Amino acid sequence: MSHSSTPPIVRFAPSPTGRIHIGNARTAMLNYLFAKAAGGQFILRFDDTDVERSRAEYADSIEVDLAWLGAVPSLKVRQSDRVALYVAASEKLKALGRLYPCYETADELDRRRKRMQARGLPPVYDRAALNLTEADRQALEAEGRTPHWRFLLEPGTETWTDLVRGESHIDSASLSDPVLMREDGTYLYTLPSVVDDIDLGITHVIRGEDHVTNTAVQIQVFRALGGDVPAFGHHNLLMNQQGEGLSKRSGALSLTGLREAGVEALAIASMAVLTGSATSVQPVQNLELLQDLVDLAHLSRAPARFDEAELWALSAKTLHAMPFADVALRLADRGITGDVSEAFWDTVRGNLERFDDVDLWWSVATGSIEPVIEDAVFLAQARDALPAEPWDNTTWPAWTTALKASSGRKGKALFHPLRLALTGRETGPELAALLPLIGRARATARLSAHSA
Ligand code: GLU
């Protein structure tokens, strides 16, 4: 079962029943980066066989979210378009005697499970339906019952070397024969997933550890259908600070919501894949660098706690380290263009909590603000001492050194009124870098208490 020689093909397979959250981003990005690191392919598969709960708008939002994270799939498929393949596979399994009709109602199964538990037995399906004769089945159908269909598990232990968890095994005796098809002919998740994995040549199935128990069943379905069994990797799940799992239905920590609130995509990507890993969560400049930090084999097996405050701090750090070239288009989208835009970015990025804060600093640097006047006499004196242009990074130290000597002020008494008048704020970027962007005309007006 070696796949190392061929480039991997992986898939991210969300059901479009809600907006994806940071926990889903963990699965998506672990898959994407795994494929990318090895020159492989990343496929997006919508598990939308549940027609009641699947929505086209959720599928659309998942695509937008993935594109925002930078995980653009090379192929996109929908299970609802592929039902013919599942029908063919189920016919094949029936012909092989691996898919058999069962007529129990949910109530009957429930009573049976309770009886077994009361006797201290594992609540495994007793395969009573296998003993039905053709005549029994006809009688049940004449009563108006329609069958659901179970996959006949082979006895024995399924083993696999999990990419995350290492040697893993599940004894099929501990499992009920899984239902693959419902009474109404629709498919549960198991069969379509395996059929698609075979059809799309998936080499590595990387998903949350809530799917570990499905793996033994799926390995048997792969074999029964004559498909290559892929490698499996099951990562731990992200929990919130209260230790609860994240849910798509609640919409909490959805990627859409985090994006709208102003979190950087690269911060989400980094936090999604590095939380609970051997490498600490850190700002990264791009996905190429992140891909080198991911190591499935060293993901912790304990549930990983996710802290939103940490995400915001990481998002700010990500901005602080972001080179101009990576942000030029986003700046241009907000009208921040021209010769000074690079100097502007380098001056203000270290002060950004979120990207939107650039608007404020762009007004300070090139637009109009309301100066805050603390000491009009001193400010007039400072205005009169402004050097002639051209200005550069030496202007501020030269000007304030002269002012220190002429006014006798120093420290906060010297700098604070100047900052308030020139920027309208208590804190902000280095004035040595900002002042040349503001320029002499604007500085003169602001020091004179005029908005400019
Ligand atoms: N639709 C399944 C889920 O979202 C996919 C599981 C898998 O990757 O096999 O959990």
For residues 385-397, give the mean pLDDT.
Answer: 97
Do 173 and 254 fall within a single domain? no
Is residue 85 classed exposed, middle or buried when 0-12, 13-18 and 19+ CB atoms within 10 A define those classes? middle
> In sequence order, what are the residues at sequence separation of 6 or more whose Cβ sits closer than 8 angstroms to the Cβ of residue 12?
27, 28, 31, 32, 42, 43, 44, 45, 66, 71, 73
Taken in order 106, 109, 115, 118, the sign of the CA dihedral is negative
User: Given the CA of residue 210, which atom of ligand 1 is nearest to it?
Assistant: 10
Give the closest residue to 141 by CA, choosing from 133, 131, 150, 153: 133
Q: What integer pLDDT is reported at residue 283 of this predicted model?
A: 97
The verdict on the CB of residue 275 being under 6 Å from ligand 1 is: no
Do 114 and 146 fall within a single domain? yes
Number of domains forming the structure of the chain: 3
**pLDDT tens for each residue of 215-241:** 999 999 999 999 999 999 999 999 988
Q: What integer pLDDT is reported at residue 4 of this predicted model?
A: 54
> In sequence order, what are the residues at sequence separation of 6 or more whose Cβ sits closer than 8 angstroms to the Cβ of residue 334?
358, 359, 362
Backbone angles phi, psi at 212, to 5 degrees: -55, -45
In a domain, 121, yes or no: yes
pTM comes to 0.93
In a domain, 232, yes or no: yes
Contact predicate 198/221, CB 8 Å: no
In a domain, 369, yes or no: yes
Do 286 and 435 fall within a single domain? no
Contact predicate 396/432, CB 8 Å: yes
Taken in order 116, 122, 125, 131, the sign of the CA dihedral is negative
DSSP label at residue 306: -
Final residue of a domain: which of 321, 336, 369?
321
Do 301 and 426 fall within a single domain? no
Final residue of a domain: which of 276, 298, 321?
321
Reported for 332-336, long-range contacts at CB under 8 A and 24+ positions apart, including other chains, are 334/358, 334/359, 334/362, 335/362, 336/362
Residue 362 CA, distance from chain mean position: 31
Residue 424 CA, distance from chain mean position: 38
Do 253 and 163 fall within a single domain? yes
Q: Mutate which of 66, 188, 189, 213 to test ligand 1's pocket (most atoms within 8 Å of Cβ)? A: 189
Higher pLDDT, 2 or 413: 413
The verdict on the CB of residue 30 being under 6 Å from ligand 1 is: no
Protein residue closest via CA to atom 5 of ligand 1: 13
CATH assignment at residue 61: 3.40.50.620
Final residue of a domain: which of 279, 301, 321?
321
CB atoms within 10 A of CB 383: 17
CATH assignment at residue 173: 3.90.800.10
Residue 239 CA, distance from chain mean position: 14
Tokens 């020159």 belong to residue: 39
Give the closest residue to 440 by CA, choosing from 379, 386, 397: 386
pLDDT at 318 over 60: yes
CB atoms within 10 A of CB 141: 13
CATH assignment at residue 358: 1.10.10
Q: What integer pLDDT is reported at residue 1 of this predicted model?
A: 43
The verdict on the CB of residue 162 being under 6 Å from ligand 1 is: no
In a domain, 294, yes or no: yes
In a domain, 217, yes or no: yes
How many A from CA of 294 to the centre of ligand 1? 21
Do 59 and 172 fall within a single domain? no
Q: What integer pLDDT is reported at residue 399 of this predicted model?
A: 98
For residues 416-420, give the mean pLDDT.
Answer: 98
Do 394 and 438 fall within a single domain? yes
Tokens of 440: 């002499």
In a domain, 70, yes or no: yes
Whole-angstrom Cα distance, residue 252 to residue 68? Answer: 18
Do 292 and 386 fall within a single domain? no
Do 296 and 367 fall within a single domain? no
Q: What integer pLDDT is reported at residue 241 of this predicted model?
A: 84
CB atoms within 10 A of CB 113: 17
Q: What integer pLDDT is reported at residue 319 of this predicted model?
A: 98
Tokens of 364: 């300070």
Q: What integer pLDDT is reported at residue 126 of this predicted model?
A: 94
The verdict on the CB of residue 15 being under 6 Å from ligand 1 is: yes
User: What angle do the packed helices 83-95 and 190-199 form, to 10 degrees?
Assistant: 100
In a domain, 252, yes or no: yes
**pLDDT tens for each residue of 59-77:** 999 999 999 999 999 999 9
Parent domain of 272: 1-78+157-167+187-321
Whole-angstrom Cα distance, residue 307 to residue 311? Answer: 7
Do 238 and 332 fall within a single domain? no
> In sequence order, what are the residues at sequence separation of 6 or more whose Cβ sits closer than 8 angstroms to the Cβ of residue 15?
46, 47, 48, 50, 53, 54
Do 161 and 251 fall within a single domain? yes
In a domain, 452, yes or no: no
pLDDT at 249 over 80: no
Whole-angstrom Cα distance, residue 204 to residue 7? Answer: 10
Do 418 and 441 fall within a single domain? yes
Q: What integer pLDDT is reported at residue 206 of this predicted model?
A: 98
pLDDT at 3 over 80: no
The verdict on the CB of residue 54 being under 6 Å from ligand 1 is: no
pLDDT at 50 over 70: yes
Tokens of 135: 């005549």
For residues 280-298, give the mean pLDDT.
Answer: 95
Average pLDDT along the chain: 95
Please report the DSSP string for 348-405 in residue order: HGGG-SSGGGHHHHHHHHHS------S-HHHHHHHHHTPPPSP--TTHHHHHHHHHHH
How many A from CA of 450 to the centre of ligand 1? 61
